[in-house]
Amino acid sequence: MPYAENSSLFWMSGRLATDLVEVSHDPSCLDDGGFWAVSTTFENEFTAARFATVVNAPFPTTPWIPLKGAWSSSLSAEQYMAYVERIRNSVADGWVYQVNACRRLTHPGDGQSLRGLFSQILENNPAPWASYFEIPELMIASASPELFLSRNGSTVKSSPIKGTQHNNVQNFGAKDQAENVMIVDLMRNDLGQICKSGTVEVPRLLSSEEHPGLQHLVSDVQGELLDDISWSKILSALSPPGSVSGAPKSSATQVIGANEIARGPYCGALGWVEGNQAVLSVAIRTFWKDQGINFGTGAGITWGSRADAEWEETQLKARRLISIAGGELL
């Protein structure tokens, strides 16, 4: 689909793409070797945009007027905690081991583009995989701390996050460590579908990373791709990201579908692909715009979860970024 849309752009890690040429919803477009900005939804809807100009440049700073008024939540505290208990019952029944339970915060907005908000995010909440993607059908501003997939030639790596706590807490507990190892095993299985036998390894396990206001428990899983594998097969094997779905992934996504509204861009993949090079984040800590402004937040639920603590984790993950956007987090 060709476009003549000068306001569209993509930015990530110092790469600025402008002059939109076309938008595709077919993942096979990524095999042409060109530079594509990519967004997938949690529900595996694919959007990619090809730009004529890609340069190394800072994000074009835009002013932001803080929002006023309250953010609403797709699930109240009581509803979310009941959801947690339903997941725990599913664990007890042997249906799942872990499910990432999410909710959507929504503000009516005031007509501003998210560019100004992303400028504020870069200044006040720098994140390793922060990115901005705007085309006529999408507007996403992300402060993601999590790498979904990097590709350098035939080498691919994923760095799942499971475990979040305040920066002033020294050690992650057994529940967080067990969650992380569970998702590492899931990612080893996912990568095993697209990588050469014997090449999938875990070079980093249970590493603590500091981020603004939070620390995360992170591991790395990497492997060597099968020869001549297409981007469609890579994305199909890995999506949705394991860290924001659960284990087993097929059962976890059924639980999520029965209890949540559609997540949309939140918890999908966001980044760029250029031939056999790529960086895609997990689109967490992410705002996106439709009729209003949305922000997603969630927590990993296991048998060892306490419903009130998981609700507070979702509040913790949202609090800093909502304070940057403006408005009241109830």
pLDDT digits (tens, 9 = 90+) for 253-308: 999 999 999 999 999 999 999 999 999 999 999 999 998 999 999 999 999 999 99
Q: What phi and psi values does residue 241 have, to the nearest 5 degrees?
A: -55, 135
Question: What's 268's DSSP letter?
Answer: S
- Work out whether strand 46-56 and strand 15-24 pair parallel, antiparallel, or are unpaired: antiparallel
Angle made by CA atoms 145, 270, 60, in degrees to the nearest 5: 85
Beta carbons of 217 and 175 less than 8 angstroms apart? no
Is residue 11 within 8 A of residue 17, CB to CB? The reply is yes
Task: Give 212-256 pLDDT, tens digit per residue.
Answer: 777 889 999 999 999 999 999 999 999 999 999 999 999 999 999
57 token code pair: 């440049």
Instruction: Give the pair of three-digit tokens for residue 233.
Output: 């097969």
Q: Residue 33, by phi and psi: left (phi above 0), alpha (psi -120 to 50) or beta?
A: left
Is residue 73 within 8 A of residue 102, CB to CB? The reply is no
Check: CB of residue 50 under 8 Å from CB of residue 292. Answer: no
Q: By C-alpha distance, which of 156, 157, 234, 228 is closest to 193?
A: 234
User: What is the percent of the chain where pLDDT is above 90?
Assistant: 88
Copy the structure tokens of residue 310: 């998981």
* Residue 17 tokens, joined: 């793409």
Q: What is the pLDDT of residues 300-319, one digit of tens each?
A: 999 999 999 999 999 999 99
List C-alpha distances in Å: 198 to 34, 77, 225, 276.
31, 45, 11, 21
DSSP codes of every residue in 237-304: HHPSPGGGTEESHHHHHHHHHHHS---TTTTSEEEEEETTEEEEEE--SEEEESSSEEEEEEEEE-TT
Rounded mean pLDDT, 110-127:
96
Cα–Cα dist 98/324, whole Å: 31
Residue 119 tokens read as 């400028």
Predicted pLDDT of residue 121: 97
Contacts of 186 (CB under 8 A, 6+ apart): 242, 247, 248, 249
CA 212 – CA 202 distance, rounded (Å) = 26
Q: What are phi and psi of 217, to 5 degrees?
A: -100, 120
Closest of 25, 8, 14 to residue 114, by C-alpha: 8
Measure CA of the first residue to CA of the last residue in the chain; give whole Å.
41
CA-closest candidate to residue 285, choices 328, 310, 246, 314: 314
Indicate the angle between helix axes 249-259 and 77-92, nearest 10 degrees: 150
CA of 155: how far to CAs of 30, 181, 184, 226, in Å?
17, 22, 17, 10
- Say what the pLDDT of residue 6 is: 59
CATH numbers and ranges of domains, the chain: 9-58+67-329 (3.60.120.10)
Question: What is the percent of the chain where pLDDT is above 70?
Answer: 98
Measure the CA–CA gap between 279 and 296, rounded to whole angstroms: 21
- Does residue 4 register a pLDDT over 60? no
CA distance 12 to 140: 12
